[in-house]
Chain A
Amino acid sequence: MSFASISFIIFLGATLLLYYLVPKRAQWWVLLAASYIFYFAAGSWYLPFIVFTTLSSYAIARLMANNSRRESAYIAENRENMDKDARKAYKAGQKKKRFHILLVGIVLNFGILAVLKYTGFALHNVNALIGVFGGVKLGIPSLILPLGISFYTFQTMGYLIDVYRGKTEAEKNPFRLALFVSFFPQLVQGPISRHSDLASQLYAPHKAEWGNIVPGMIRICWGFFKKLVVADTVMIVIKEIISDTGKYGGAYVLFLIIAYSVEIYADFTGGIDITIGIGEAMGIKIAENFNRPFASTSTKEYWNRWHITMGSWFTDYIFYPLSITKSMQKLSKWSRAHLGNAVGKRVPVYTATIITWFLTGLWHGASWNFIVWGLLNCLVILISQECQPLYNKLNKRFPRLTKSAFWTLYLRAQTFMLMGTIRILDVYRNVPVTFKMLGSIFYDGRGWQSFLSGGMLSLGLDISAFIVVAVGILLMLAVSEISSRGDRPLKNRLADKPLAAFGCMAVLIFAILIFGSYGIGFDASQFIYTQF
């Protein structure tokens, strides 16, 4: 059941109605039932996997919590008989035990993800090696990949690590944990929420309030508009360009970079708008996943604004722990002694950054294009880091220029194009083909000639469809700009005036019905991030 389907709209309406009709203490049971129905409808074979993740994580978290409780009780009982060092040693021993318990949880859950998502990829690579050296190639099994497994596994692992770190309480009720793991609005494409932010809201009673329901509805409509009117329309052009790499080189590839940036932005932020809007309509505040990413003036800033919850997950649970491990610190000391202070200081940071980006790429998909995508992002970030002293000099030497609106615009355009260029690895799904097509921008004169002589209009969209997309882009820019100003989100300001609120929703729905997936010639497709 895709978000962009009539059945989902009916399901959502029924869930919301029931949610506010049942006694408040039973509201979270409605959410749990709805989440499992939603997931069952997506695929009945997916259920055992999410149930296993929930139950194993419940048991692991309880074991860690029991160990912490015993540790506190033991120290309280024996405080007088223990000196500081004995207390420290006892605590360290208990922490080690908890770490081993956590490790079981991590191996179990990441193990499932690894087997289901990466077995085929690993075997393909083994077979490629066998092809080089000779030998019998291995059979590649066709494994089921449960919808949203990357998202719910990461969210649940974040919960376990937070329990281990003492940042959140272990759930006592397994059904409550089941809701946290499976909460349907964010199950298939995130955001990846933290237990300390989301869980208590899921179980709390919520009154039906205008100030939640109406802004939530506006955001849902806005999300559908972005997805069905902008993203799915632009998708037609993208499909056509990648369908014939011989025909569509040169300027078409440059156009593809821009078009895919628009599509993925409208698709992913649209999906997240729907998710957050549903949460808001239920009185639940779900973490924001975007903060005007295309206003970024550097790659580093872009990654603080795009898919924020995934970025912070990798920073908190992979990058930091990895870069401060004892072995990394030892490596740093060794590098300082043998390679000098400047290099030695960089070793842990750079090693952890490269590993983190490799894993970020792998998280997106089991293929080389995603890994290369991750590593290219890493390369750009590290080069920018090294160029920072140069930028500082530039800022000092030309303060008027570097503080001007023109310079900001230039940096935004540069970041947009750079990120867009790396991103088309995701479109061609083939590393050599992507680089060949990028190269064609510089040498494929025929492609340029064809594009400049009106080839854009032979990509499956007529002039009126391009106008619809252009208006959609302008609207997205305007909403993003207006939302960044003022102390309250635009939808909440609209909700203050019932006429404006319903007028806005009516216009959006009308636009979707006329120009979106339900219009002639359009077809609703899955959200891009559901495949990750």
Chain B
Amino acid sequence: MEKLIEILTDLHPDVDFATEEGLVDNGILDSLDIVTLITEINDKFDVSIPAEEIIPENFNSAAALMALIERLDEE
């Protein structure tokens, strides 16, 4: 989780990613951020996030993103 928070903070230093639960719904992450994020995650976590998983529910919070990474790793 620490690694993920680090990636997110690098994108938006002013956001508290540990508590924020509306990253997409509240317009904090836009499509350009999401692609940057996916590139970083694929690189650092050695998973591959497919296009069909790019939905707000998976990107609204750090916890949701972590759950997605773990699920993809499991599958």
Contacts and interface: CB of A to CB of B under 8 A. Distances in A.
A316 B55 CA distance: 9
Contacts of A345: 36, 39-40
B39 A319 contact: no
Contacts of B43: 329, 333
| Interface class of chain B by DSSP | helix
A329 B43 CA distance: 9
Interface stretch (A110-118, A320-328, A487-495): A320-328
A88 B75 contact: yes
A348 B49 CA distance: 15
Interface string A267-290: 000000000000000000000000
Interface in A462-488: none
A303 to B, nearest CB: 10
B30 A300 contact: yes
A352 interface: yes
A88 B38 CA distance: 21
Interface residues of B, number: 18
A324 B38 contact: yes
Contact of B52 (A165, A315, A329, A332): A165
B35 A349 contact: yes
A319 B31 contact: yes
B58 to A, nearest CB: 12
A456 to B, nearest CB: 40
Interface string B24-52: 00000011101110111011000001111
Interface in A142-173: 165-167
Nearest to A324: B38
Contacts, number: 44
Nearest to B10: A345
A165 B51 contact: yes
A384 to B, nearest CB: 10
Nearest to A382: B32
Contacts of B54: 316, 320, 324
Contacts of A300: 30
Contacts of B35: 319-320, 323-324, 348-349, 352
Contacts of A329: 39, 42-43
Contact of A167 (B31, B34, B40, B52): B52
Contacts of B39: 324, 329, 332, 345, 348
B32 A320 contact: no
| Interface class of chain A by DSSP | helix
A460 B39 CA distance: 55
Nearest to A346: B36
A369 interface: no
B36 A349 contact: yes
A166 B52 contact: yes
Contacts of B51: 165, 316, 320-321, 324
Contacts of A166: 52
B50 to A, nearest CB: 8
B62 to A, nearest CB: 19
B70 to A, nearest CB: 14
B52 A353 contact: no
B12 to A, nearest CB: 10
A333 B46 CA distance: 13
A458 interface: no
Interface in A348-398: 348-349, 352-353, 385, 392
Nearest to B33: A349
Nearest to B74: A84
A165 B36 CA distance: 22
A316 B35 CA distance: 12
A349 B30 CA distance: 12
Given A324-B38, A329-B39, A329-B42, A349 B32 contact: yes
A345 B42 CA distance: 12
Contacts of B40: 345
A380 B29 CA distance: 19
Lowest 10 A-B CB distances belong to which pairs?
A: A165-B52, A321-B51, A323-B35, A349-B35, A320-B51, A320-B54, A349-B32, A332-B39, A324-B38, A315-B31
30 contacts: A88-B75, A165-B51, A165-B52, A166-B52, A167-B52, A315-B31, A316-B51, A319-B31, A319-B35, A320-B31, A320-B34, A320-B35, A323-B38, A324-B35, A324-B38, A324-B49, A324-B51, A324-B54, A329-B39, A329-B43, A332-B39, A333-B43, A345-B39, A345-B40, A348-B35, A348-B39, A349-B35, A352-B35, A353-B32, A392-B14
Given A320-B34, A348-B39, A353-B32, 13 more contacts: A167-B52, A316-B51, A316-B54, A319-B35, A320-B54, A323-B38, A324-B54, A332-B39, A333-B43, A345-B39, A345-B40, A348-B35, A349-B32
